Amino acid sequence: MIEPLRSQYLAALGIENYAPRFILPGAKLSEPCAWLELPADIASPAASIDESVVAKQLSAETNTSAKSANEIIQRTPVIESVVKRPARAGENVAAKSPSVQVEVGPQFALSVVLAAGGILLIDAAPASSAERTAFQKLLNNMLPSLRPAAAQYVLDIFIWPLTRQPKVPRDAGAAIETLAAYLHKQIQQRAIDTVLLLGEVAQQWCTFADTDVRVVKSTSLLACVQDPALKRPLWNDIRHLAQP
C-alpha cells in the first residue's frame, strides 16, 4: 500500500507506527536509508524474491488501493489509544492530576506599629509605595498627638502565611494563634499598655484575650488615606487616649 493511504489506514486502526518483522508477499521493496550502509557480506533478505512477481502484484494493488482504501477507512472504527505513557524519572505525576487539590488558607498582611510610650497600632498593610508614604505621614501626625514619646516608632509587617516556615499549618486557626503569639511577645518586650486595633482586617485576626492591655477599635488608618472624611471619626474614637 502506497503513502499516504498506508498512514491513513494505520491512523484509522489507531496505530501510530508499524514496522513489519518480515517482508509480505507483494509488498514494495524497502529502500535503505541514505546514512546506513550495510556490509557487502550481508545479503539482503529480499534477494530471494522474484522482482517480476513483485512488480505485477504491486501494479494490481496500486490500481485498486485508491478505491478500497476509502472503503476500509469508512468501515473501520477509530480506536483511541488507552495506553498511558510511563512517567519519566523525576516527573511529578500528582501535580498534573486534576484530582489533586492544594489547600489554600487565608492570606493577609498587617502593619504592626510599635511606638514608644506603650502604644501598639495594628492596621492593614499598604499595598503600594504611595500608600505606604501616605500611611506613614498620618502616623507622624497622629501618634505624637496621643503621646509625645510615640513620635518614635518602628513599622513592621506581618504577612500570612509564613513563607519561610512551610511546615506551619495555613488554616485560619493557625493564623490567629501565630499572630497572637507574635503580638503577645511584642507586648511583653516593649511594655505595651494600649493597642489601637484599626480596620476590619486587624480586628478579624487579632486577639488579646490573655493580656491586660487596653484595646481600642476604630476605623482603618489606611482607609483614611483613600477617604480623608474618615479621619474625624477615627480621632473621636482615640482622642481620650491623648496625654498632656
What are 225-240's pLDDT values in tens digits?
999 999 999 999 999 9
Q: Are 159 and 226 part of one and the same domain?
A: yes
Q: Domain of residue 25: give its range.
A: 5-32+47-75
Q: Are 176 and 69 part of one and the same domain?
A: no
Residue 185 scores a pLDDT above 90: yes
Residue 195 scores a pLDDT above 70: yes
Classify 145 as helix, strand or coil: helix
Classify 199 as helix, strand or coil: coil
- For 118, residues 6+ apart whose C-beta sits below 8 A from its C-beta are 147, 190, 191, 192, 193, 194
> Residue 86 falls within a domain, yes or no?
no
Q: Are 26 and 136 part of one and the same domain?
A: no
Which tens digits make up the pLDDT trace of 17-68?
666 666 666 667 666 555 444 455 544 444 444 555 545 555 555 555 545 5
Q: Are 204 and 156 part of one and the same domain?
A: yes
DSSP, res 90: T
Which tens digits make up the pLDDT trace of 63-97?
555 455 455 445 544 434 334 455 555 555 455 54
- pTM of the predicted structure, to 2 decimals: 0.57
Dist CA 211 CA 183 (whole Å):
10
Q: Are 55 and 122 part of one and the same domain?
A: no
Which tens digits make up the pLDDT trace of 108-141?
999 999 999 999 999 999 999 999 999 999 999 9
Strand locations in 26-162 (E): 108-115, 119-124, 153-160
> Residue 42 falls within a domain, yes or no?
no
Q: By the 8 A CB rule, do 57 and 49 touch? A: no
- When mean pLDDT is compared across 70-74, 76-80, 160-164, 220-224, the lowest value belongs to 76-80
Q: By the 8 A CB rule, do 126 and 132 touch? A: yes
Dist CA 217 CA 234 (whole Å):
9
